[in-house]
Structure 1
Amino acid sequence: MTITVPFRQLFIDGEWREPVRKNRLPIINPATEEIIGSIPSATSEDVDLAVDAARKALSRNRGKDWSSAPGAHRAKYLRAIATKIRERKSEMAELESMDCGKPLEEALWDIDDVAACFDYYADLAEGLDTKKKTPVSVPMEEFKCHVVMEPIGIVGLITPWNYPLLMSTWKVAPALAAGCAAILKPSEVASITCLELAAVCREVGLPPGILNVLTGLGHEAGAPLASHPDVNKVAFTGSNMTGSKIMAAASKLAKPVTLELGGKSPIVVFEDVDLDKAVEWTIFGCFWTNGQICSATSRLILHESIATEFLDRIVKWTKNIKISDPMEEGCRLGPVVNASQYEKIKKFIATAKSEGATILCGGTRPKNLKKGYFLEPTIITNVSTSMQIWREEVFGPVLCVKTFRNEDEAIELANDTEYGLGAAVISKNLERCDRITKAINSGIVWVNCSQPCFVQAPWGGNKRSGFGRELGHWGLENYMTVKQVTEYVSNEPWGWYKPPSKL
């Protein structure tokens, strides 16, 4: 460990506040299994305080300085946050690696994306000033109509542990750009950098109550946030089980939600590929972020004519991946996030083996790493479409493989899933790639690559992978509501009712 984890409290109304019940949770470094700090544990009482702070921030007196202010005003804060994030890039990346096990070089990349995301939504916030009124053509000349976009109000943002700061930024940046007040509840498994984001916002003078950060357990802080009557919208990224609970809670109040849930994404590799390029994209698509990514292309659908040579090469590439403490130079696979996730992944592998699948490589702890939640990247063959390993999200460095004979079979295998977040197709035949792209039912399709993500493009899934889109202008629109304004402009009376007779 090269830096010390800062001691932080909850961030409410622009100030650090001890939780009402004064509870804290330990932070465990997944590479060493050592306690390296603690985070405050919020409960419903703290949620009430944060919602009250957000309500005051958007009140008639104070809201004019935020929600009713020009977008350019909010953009200045977003750009100041981006600047501070860049200044603290190395520190933020190290904290992220220590917290969730992400290789440091990946974390550095993530922090760059965080800053870029704030800058991007600063631009979109400024753009709102030129789109204050959108005229609507109506068929009656006595009327004029226009549409305005307004901030939706107080938003609850519940985020996961695999990209602690980046996934939070995907929600915080557009919510603030839109003019909302936000309450961020990051995963209790990895929250350090989200509290540091609060510190940055305080440093740049973000108005009190505009961003509040509550760390703590899902059932103690996340659930009351999602069901709070004064929270106007909830945006969630995480598991299907939790997403269903959030949707159920929101439905009682007819509250809008955005859900980005799990995935079991396919990568379809045809026979005409450059083998080494296809192998690298395949392992990147599954093992990036230690395999802990909802869009991981963890189902390899491989043309049977190249299967033998492709699998031989992918095993060699996989065995060459450097597994180490994520802070070490050149690390490409760190530990999974905690003991619970580690045991869950091992159980998936053991079940696959008991059902008759073949562990082609990996599946065990690296011999040179005695501590930490490390697991060798794993490739599994001889799987059937009914096996758990093929159908359920593992959320770890595990790739399962099936072969296909023709394009129709590949499409059928790709779509035979309850999920629809991501998919990839690799082939030199771009017409075929276009056919596959159109045929696959998912929110994201990569062609001759897997996993690249850009803040300008929409992100989200179909089926059990959720609904709604983040990033791009779609992400900003998540936090806005549409208001129609219709004006009667004729000098003549409407004339529908007869006026009363004059006395």
Structure 2
Amino acid sequence: MAPPAAKPPGNPPPAGNPTATPHTATVANVPVDTRHWIAGARVTSATHAPTATFTDHSPIDGAPLAEIARGTAAEARAAVAAADAAFPGWAATPPAERAALLHAVADGVDARAEELAAVETADNGALLRSHRHGVLPRVAHNFRYFADRLLALSRPDFETRGHTNHVTWDPAGPAVLITPWNAPLMLASWKIAPALASGSTVVLKPAEWTPLTASLLADITHEAGLPPGVFNVVQGYGDEVGAPLTAHPAVRRISFTGSVPTAHRIATAAAAHLTPCSFELGGKSPLLVLADADLDLAADLAVEQYDNAGQVCLAATRILVEESVRDAFLGRFLDRVAKLTRGDPRDEATDIGPSIHPRHVERVDGFVRRALAAGAEALVGGAPDTRLSDASGGNYYFPTLLTDVDQDSEIVQEEVFGPVLTLQTFPDGDEDEAVRLANGTRFGLAATLAAGDRERAARIAARLVAGTVWVNCFYVRDLSAPFGGSRRSGIGREGGDWSFDFYCDLKNTVTAPKGWSDHG
């Protein structure tokens, strides 16, 4: 099958101007301060001179966007000290006041939504229309939800032999939040909002490939009235600033979204001080298509896995189809893929934008080349889109579907994190084999199931190892629901009260029914 047609990139305006001022870059016509945000002030990385900055490039065209302050252990220590100093006052702030400040942050996000969307698209290459209509509204919603949830947080008292048990959530202390590049602001706010709502203070370390909207968020929190030190942003590389943050003895919580190897390093550092960690890690999720499924719906769900150029941890990259409907499903799927438009993510007609970085394209292509060498067949794609990349200067990869893959092969077992899907089949009616294939990796983040029979779907869903199972849908998320992964896909759950359980120390106060004076 011929590769899907690409939209000519045209000549869009440059994404950024990194030399607007010594500490400000103009990105998508938006000024962005490139320094850290520590203790309510902008801070450079003077201790790292003469390499006090690093260059942030746009994946759309490879253009330099900004020279970003490059953090070191000194900035890490300063940020944690600021968060630690601010913690007592923030923890003592009445919940209603904390909630009102979080609502003010949400208002600030809404007020700057267009700017945030434009900068985020320039920085990480995801579709501008998705940022406008999906991602940025969720950012504001994250702050509003956890602000409101804070005010409703309670558990009923209960009795033990006449004694009253009363459960409360005590703020834990400074939290280090390390966030990924595939949905920078949304995933950061998913952690920041409950941490701040709980009464903990925050040091955010954004991914070095996408640091810009974290800096804009610092401005928004300042304008909303957050006290100095309550929210801090330190930019830079993991080994230079992330490592000293996670090893700091004053840090009381660490939340990380990213790769399994990095989580191992963070857990090792945190173990020295018994710092609790929450990890949302890799995925290799299945999409099971049963013979009685609506195959048009199933094909739509499968194509949706190419969203954000496949750079979605939840993506169901392993398509498992009941044998009798393989060809019917495949025809529908390939028809839809042929209609996808690749190109500049700022164009409303674009369906698939660039991958995040040239090194990431090489990594994705390495997986595909090794799979092809091992005997896999590419029914569509299978290589970088060099024509589009050469024309635009960006990082583009063809949407790819590989068949003739073994269950134990690298391409089936390891997370590619790109627009690469595999197709396997299982015998008709063999639910055991379907479940064996679905559960047959070290991961367990999510699973998607397309089915026509409600009882059969429920039976199979109950056997899947996953933090989230979607049946005849995908990526439906509610903040009240627990979110996280099983096996190597993570530790812990976030969302609803589960987030407060993590960012707080739960306390149970047991009160006897007697022993009181007559005076109260």
- CA distance in 2 between partners of 1:308 and 1:477 (Å): 47
- CA distance in 1 between partners of 2:47 and 2:328 (Å): 60
- CA distance in 2 between partners of 1:368 and 1:486 (Å): 66
Q: Alignment partner for residue 243 of structure 1, among 263, 266, 273?
A: 263
Q: Tell whether the 8 Å contact from 1:71 to 1:127 is kept in structure 2 after alignment.
A: no
Q: Tell whether the 8 Å contact from 1:103 to 1:334 is kept in structure 2 after alignment.
A: yes
Correspondence 1:289 to 2:311: no
- CA distance in 1 between partners of 2:47 and 2:178 (Å): 21
Q: Tell whether the 8 Å contact from 2:33 to 2:216 is kept in structure 1 after alignment.
A: no
Q: Alignment partner for residue 221 of structure 1, among 234, 241, 263?
A: 241
Which digits, 9 at most, give the CA deviation of each residue in 1:127-160, with x for residues without a partner?
24xx3x8534122x4x544222111111111111
Residue 412 of structure 1 corresponds to: 436
Which digits, 9 at most, give the CA deviation of each residue in 1:451-487, with x for residues without a partner?
2222222210100001111122212222111122234
- AA paired with 1:431? E
Q: Tell whether the 8 Å contact from 1:326 to 1:333 is kept in structure 2 after alignment.
A: yes
Unaligned runs of 5+ in 2: 1-14, 16-27
The structural deviation recorded for 1:368 is 4.1
Q: Alignment partner for residue 282 of structure 2, among 262, 273, 278?
A: 262
Q: Tell whether the 8 Å contact from 1:292 to 1:395 is kept in structure 2 after alignment.
A: yes
**Shift in CA distance, 180/358, structure 1 to aligned 2, threshold 3 Å:** same
Q: Tell whether the 8 Å contact from 1:282 to 1:450 is kept in structure 2 after alignment.
A: no
Which runs of structure 2 are paired with 1:4-153 in the superposition (5 Å)?
4=30, 6-22=32-48, 23-59=52-88, 63=89, 66-108=90-132, 109-128=134-153, 131=154, 135-139=157-161, 141=162, 143-153=163-173
Q: Tell whether the 8 Å contact from 1:349 to 1:363 is kept in structure 2 after alignment.
A: yes
The structural deviation recorded for 1:291 is 0.5
- CA distance in 1 between partners of 2:87 and 2:30 (Å): 36
TM-score, normalization by structure 1: 0.93
- CA distance in 1 between partners of 2:112 and 2:30 (Å): 14
**Shift in CA distance, 74/354, structure 1 to aligned 2, threshold 3 Å:** same
Aligned length, in residue pairs = 482
Q: Tell whether the 8 Å contact from 1:9 to 1:16 is kept in structure 2 after alignment.
A: yes
Residue 21 of structure 2 corresponds to: none
Q: Tell whether the 8 Å contact from 1:57 to 1:181 is kept in structure 2 after alignment.
A: yes
Residue 191 of structure 2 corresponds to: 171
Residue 382 of structure 1 corresponds to: 404
Q: Tell whether the 8 Å contact from 2:388 to 2:396 is kept in structure 1 after alignment.
A: no
Q: Alignment partner for residue 177 of structure 2, among 157, 180, 183?
A: 157
Farther off after superposition, 342-351 or 144-153: 144-153
Please state whether the residue corresponding to 1:16 is helix, strand or coil.
strand
The structural deviation recorded for 1:333 is 0.7
- CA distance in 2 between partners of 1:232 and 1:369 (Å): 44
The structural deviation recorded for 1:122 is 1.0
The structural deviation recorded for 1:313 is 2.0
The structural deviation recorded for 1:242 is 0.3
- CA distance in 1 between partners of 2:67 and 2:499 (Å): 32
Correspondence 1:279 to 2:279: no
- AA paired with 1:54? A
- CA distance in 2 between partners of 1:421 and 1:439 (Å): 14
Q: Tell whether the 8 Å contact from 1:29 to 1:35 is kept in structure 2 after alignment.
A: yes
The structural deviation recorded for 1:492 is 9.9
- AA paired with 1:12? I
Q: Alignment partner for residue 475 of structure 1, among 496, 499, 520?
A: 499
Q: Tell whether the 8 Å contact from 2:30 to 2:115 is kept in structure 1 after alignment.
A: no
- CA distance in 2 between partners of 1:456 and 1:75 (Å): 17
The structural deviation recorded for 1:55 is 1.4
- CA distance in 1 between partners of 2:298 and 2:344 (Å): 27
Residue 443 of structure 1 corresponds to: 467
Please state whether the residue corresponding to 2:462 is helix, strand or coil.
helix
Q: Tell whether the 8 Å contact from 2:285 to 2:315 is kept in structure 1 after alignment.
A: yes
Which runs of structure 2 are paired with 1:333-348 in the superposition (5 Å)?
333-348=352-367
- CA distance in 2 between partners of 1:194 and 1:277 (Å): 37
- CA distance in 1 between partners of 2:377 and 2:116 (Å): 40
**Shift in CA distance, 135/345, structure 1 to aligned 2, threshold 3 Å:** same
- AA paired with 1:112? P
The structural deviation recorded for 1:315 is 1.5
- AA paired with 1:124? R
**Shift in CA distance, 48/305, structure 1 to aligned 2, threshold 3 Å:** same
Residue 496 of structure 1 corresponds to: none
- CA distance in 2 between partners of 1:80 and 1:492 (Å): 44
The structural deviation recorded for 1:364 is 2.4
Q: Tell whether the 8 Å contact from 2:169 to 2:500 is kept in structure 1 after alignment.
A: no
Which digits, 9 at most, give the CA deviation of each residue in 1:143-188, with x for residues without a partner?
5442221111111111111010011101100000000101011111
The structural deviation recorded for 1:192 is 0.6
Residue 328 of structure 1 corresponds to: 347
- CA distance in 2 between partners of 1:302 and 1:280 (Å): 14
Q: Tell whether the 8 Å contact from 1:5 to 1:36 is kept in structure 2 after alignment.
A: no
The structural deviation recorded for 1:41 is 1.2
Which digits, 9 at most, give the CA deviation of each residue in 1:349-379, with x for residues without a partner?
1000000000110122333442211011100
Farther off after superposition, 452-461 or 291-300: 452-461
- CA distance in 2 between partners of 1:400 and 1:491 (Å): 68
Please state whether the residue corresponding to 2:181 is helix, strand or coil.
coil
- CA distance in 1 between partners of 2:68 and 2:495 (Å): 29
Please state whether the residue corresponding to 1:411 is helix, strand or coil.
helix
- AA paired with 1:282? A
Correspondence 1:200 to 2:220: yes
Residue 23 of structure 2 corresponds to: none
Considering only aligned residues, what root-mean-square deviation do their CA atoms show, in Å?
A: 1.6
**Shift in CA distance, 278/228, structure 1 to aligned 2, threshold 3 Å:** same
Q: Tell whether the 8 Å contact from 1:234 to 1:256 is kept in structure 2 after alignment.
A: yes
- CA distance in 2 between partners of 1:448 and 1:43 (Å): 47
Residue 403 of structure 1 corresponds to: 425
Correspondence 1:363 to 2:382: yes
Identity of aligned residues (%): 36
The structural deviation recorded for 1:256 is 0.7
TM-score, normalization by structure 2: 0.90
- AA paired with 2:381? G
- CA distance in 2 between partners of 1:487 and 1:219 (Å): 48
Residue 372 of structure 1 corresponds to: 394
Please state whether the residue corresponding to 2:507 is helix, strand or coil.
strand
Correspondence 1:458 to 2:458: no
The structural deviation recorded for 1:213 is 0.5
- CA distance in 1 between partners of 2:30 and 2:201 (Å): 31
Q: Tell whether the 8 Å contact from 2:288 to 2:319 is kept in structure 1 after alignment.
A: yes
- CA distance in 2 between partners of 1:12 and 1:232 (Å): 18
Please state whether the residue corresponding to 1:399 is helix, strand or coil.
strand
